[in-house]
Amino acid sequence: MIWTSAGREAKTAPGPPSGQPPEREIGAALDTFEMMLYRSLIGIVAVVTVACGTGRQGEIRAAHLGLHALRNVVHFAGQNLWLPALALIPLAQLFALEFSCPILVALTAPVFLAERLTPTKLLAAATGFAGILIVARPFGAGGLSVGHVTA
């Protein structure tokens, strides 16, 4: 909720002189790895602070620590790829590509979760993918760029 509120405030605040969204301007001052490191550290401090403040620090356990570490490494890598894409492609294309995640989850769920992939789910995934291609136009006049790949 804090990240969402901060994001809304950043989008409604007056932008920098270049007219670009503030998220695109920070790349000139900080490396993406550095930005994501600070974001992760702030997140850890926030979680521990809230857990201690509400007396729920017992819920922070080391069970399945390896899976948590793997999830966080994958998330950190994804965020480090997403941030450069923010500066390289239009926001509409970036978010269209980002919203492909539910489609990928639906298509990989049979492999990892032993769920059934019904014809309805396949049709929904194909329709969603067609919508992503319409909005993102990765093979349009500009062609497939580094921004499309990293998004």
**Mean pLDDT of all residues belonging to the chain:** 77
Task: Report the alpha-carbon distance of residue 39 to residue 117 in Å, rounded.
Answer: 37
Task: Report the predicted TM-score, pTM, of the whole model to 2 decimal places.
Answer: 0.54
DSSP 64-99: THHHHHHHHHHHHHHHHHHHHHHHHS-HHHHHHHHT
Spell out the domain ranges in the chain.
Answer: 21-88, 89-151
Is pLDDT larger for residue 26 or for residue 125?
125
What is the CA 42 to chain-centroid distance, rounded? 17
Q: Where are the alpha helices (DSSP H) in 89-137?
A: 91-98, 101-113, 119-136
DSSP 18-31: T-S-HHHHGGGTS-
User: Tens of pLDDT along 71-122?
Assistant: 888 888 888 888 777 777 778 788 888 888 888 888 888 998 888 989 999 9
Least confident range of 8-22, 32-46, 56-70, 129-143: 8-22
- The helix/strand/coil state of 55 is coil
Least confident range of 68-72, 116-120, 146-150: 146-150
Handedness of CA 105, 107, 112, 114 (dihedral sign): positive
CB contact at 8 A, 85 and 94: yes
CB contact at 8 A, 151 and 93: yes
